[in-house]
Chain A
Amino acid sequence: MTKQAPLTDRAVVTRPAATTGQATLTGQATLTGQATDVLAAEWIKLRSVRSTYWTVFVTAGLTIAIAVLTARNVVANWPKLSPSDRAHFDPMAANLAGLFLTQVGFGVLGVLAIGSEYATGQIRTTFTAVPRRLRVLAAKAIVVGALAFVVGELAVWGAFAGAQPIMARRHLDLAVSDPGVPRALLCAGLFVCLVALTGLGVGAIIRHTAGSVALLFGLVFVAPLVVRALPSPWDTRIEPYLLPNLGQQMYALRPGTLSPGVASLVCAAYAAVALGLAAVLIARRDA
């Protein structure tokens, strides 16, 4: 344990015994230590507010509940479907029907992770404690991304597991060992994680929770309506690249316009652009 190095020599040094950690001016030796400190601090922030638990648990619960309800509907309506509808039916899309809500929930989680700091003025405490702002943004991205991925996977696997017994009544059930199923479930969790990171980026750019959530809703709900109103062929050309449609192409068993791999990359580009722009702005703007 190194002793705390004072900034300058002082004539009078009467100090109470401090239980502070190590601090050095150069910080070469403790660079990893500092990175860990910032990560740990961001994790404490995330786990110590109720909004995190509300967002995460309500979203995961809804994902599973919608999967069950959709499965019941599918099973009930199956006899009424035309042969062509039955041929085009994707059971995985039905199992993950709740993801249109899940993505919004996790996007809001990302927005709140930084938006609440701007709303309360706490961002100034954060940047005073950690003046290297990119480090703060990176730590937030890691913590939010990890939580969204883990809870996202739990929600998605839970939705899948909850729907199968009902789907089995019409022999529409899938097994985890069926081709494409593990990939689809993994990608679905990855998708909500990427939306959460996009939300974080949007929150850091806009710096207002309400405005950021509105933009997020626009991306998920409004953009598809607008694109559908475009003259052909632009509507069908742009549609596959919209955020919610990227998700569907990532986890659908039937191939979409984009392969799951390409859809994942484009989706990652959303998060990268949002976080990249946030990184540029966060370093330049006054806090």
Chain B
Amino acid sequence: MSGTVTVMIEIRDLTKRYGATVAVDHLSFEVRPGRVTGFLGPNGAGKSTTMRLILGLDAPDDGAALVGGRPYGRLTRPLHHVGALLEASAVHGGRSAYHHLLWVARSNGIGRARVHEMLDKVGLTGVAGKRAGGFSLGMRQRLGLAAALLGDPEILMLDEPVNGLDPEGIRWMRELLRSLAAQGRTVLVSSHLMSEMALTADHLIVIGRGRLISDTSAADFVRLTARGDVLVRSARDDRLAALLTERDATVVAEPAGGLAVTGLDQREIGDLAVGHGIAIYELTARDASLEDVFMEVTGDHIDYRAEETL
């Protein structure tokens, strides 16, 4: 074995169909240790299905999902290698938080001390004896996270972990994920919250309709597809729009008044307006948010798919 950093999660040509629906469509990607990898896609993109396939909960129709080079089902005491937070509701509501963690721990030969340690870590010690059915979504997320961390795993896989968390909880989760990655662990986090991923993820895997759209660093993803525009308000929007279009800029009228211009920067637009005696009231460069980029990329993808089926 070499001492180099290896691929911890490997998805190869993974395909899963449910009846006529293709949930995951020949998907391939790798997840590496030491960084937070964001797993993005709109609802129904196949994120949760992919995670279930990685964990061996669902069987793929084609391809393979490997964890540390082997199928999940072959792992002995898997919680020592992989910690997963699937859905926060995957807990029996009639059982206390302590007993939930206790059975999970016991199933993988993990001791009681570790259960108490994890309850402390996620801040549930005070309600450890309470039945999980009465927990808020945020508390259930913390309980699920505690279960995922029980075995001190090298790989963490979390499906929408910030769902239901308050702003303080979101910040806590973000810092926790970053620190786990900094310890050299492999962290795969799915989310539909682009803004959250922009703050948390180092690397992004974006899927739409079960297919890979992008596999790149978070910064590159924005840069690659960024199409920031310039908002202009002027005394004569119609005249300015005509002038801008002549110079091959793309102009869209904003619903609230003003023009959204792409293809020319602020300086060029300002100079043009002055040259034609048009007074400028506002000239603002707008960055594309990760959401915008995401919508654009997945939107294109969906259009492409629609045309393809025609």
Contact = CB atoms under 8 A, between A and B. Distances in A.
B152 A13 contact: no
Interface stretch (A25-33, A94-102, A172-180, A247-255): A25-33
B106 A48 contact: no
Contact of B152 (A15, A25, A125, A127): A15
> Taking chain B's interface residues, is the majority helix, strand, or loop, or is none over half, making it mixed?
loop
Interface in A1-58: 4, 6-16, 18-27, 30, 33-34, 37-38, 40-42, 44-45, 48-51
A7 B1 contact: no
B246 to A, nearest CB: 56
A11 B152 contact: no
Interface stretch (A114-122, A146-154, A158-166, A256-264): A114-122
Interface in B28-74: 33-34, 52, 55-59, 67-69, 72-73
B99 A48 contact: yes
14 contacts: A10-B33, A20-B110, A20-B150, A27-B77, A30-B76, A34-B76, A40-B107, A49-B95, A121-B87, A125-B90, A127-B55, A127-B56, A129-B108, A131-B72
Contact of A131 (B33, B73, B104): B73
A41 B75 CA distance: 18
B184 A7 contact: no
A199 B48 CA distance: 31
Interface in B1-43: 1-6, 8, 33-34
A10 B103 contact: no
B94 to A, nearest CB: 4
B1 A19 contact: no
A16 B106 contact: no
B109 interface: yes
A45 B103 contact: yes
Interface in B83-98: 84, 86-87, 89-96
A44 B34 contact: no
Interface stretch (B111-119, B187-195, B294-302): B111-119
Nearest to A127: B57
B89 A287 contact: no
A19 B114 contact: yes
B90 A19 contact: no
Given A7-B69, A10-B184, A48-B96, A21 B103 contact: no
B174 interface: no
B81 interface: yes
Contact of B108 (A9, A16, A37): A37
Given A8-B68, A131-B73, A14 B106 contact: no
B258 interface: no
Contacts of A23: 76-77, 80-81, 108-109, 151
A130 interface: yes
A132 interface: yes
A11 B34 contact: yes
Contacts of B114: 18-20
Interface of A: 4, 6-16, 18-27, 30, 33-34, 37-38, 40-42, 44-45, 48-51, 116-117, 120-122, 124-132, 284, 286-287
B107 A49 contact: no
B84 to A, nearest CB: 5
B151 A8 contact: no
B99 A125 contact: no
Interface of B: 1-6, 8, 33-34, 52, 55-59, 67-69, 72-73, 75-81, 84, 86-87, 89-96, 99, 102-104, 106-111, 113-114, 117, 147, 150-152, 154-155, 182-184
B203 to A, nearest CB: 16
Q: Tell which of B76, B95, B150, B183 has the most Cβ of chain A within 10 Å.
A: B76
Nearest to B155: A7
A41 to B, nearest CB: 4
Given A10-B5, A23-B108, A121-B89, 12 more contacts: A8-B6, A8-B68, A9-B4, A10-B154, A14-B182, A14-B184, A20-B152, A23-B151, A25-B75, A37-B77, A125-B147, A129-B78
Contacts of A4: 80, 152
B199 to A, nearest CB: 22
Contact of B86 (A15, A49, A124): A124
A12 B81 contact: no
Contacts of A26: 76
Give 3 closest A-B pairs by Cβ, nearest first: A7-B68, A12-B184, A21-B109
A153 B154 CA distance: 47
Nearest to A22: B109
Given A21-B111, A50-B94, A286 B59 contact: yes
A284 B86 CA distance: 21
A51 B184 contact: no
Q: Tell which of B5, B52, B95 has the most Cβ of chain A within 10 Å.
A: B95
Contacts of B55: 124, 127-128, 131
A36 B44 CA distance: 39
Given A9-B2, A44-B102, A132 B109 contact: no
A49 B94 contact: yes
A125 B91 contact: yes
A270 B275 CA distance: 92
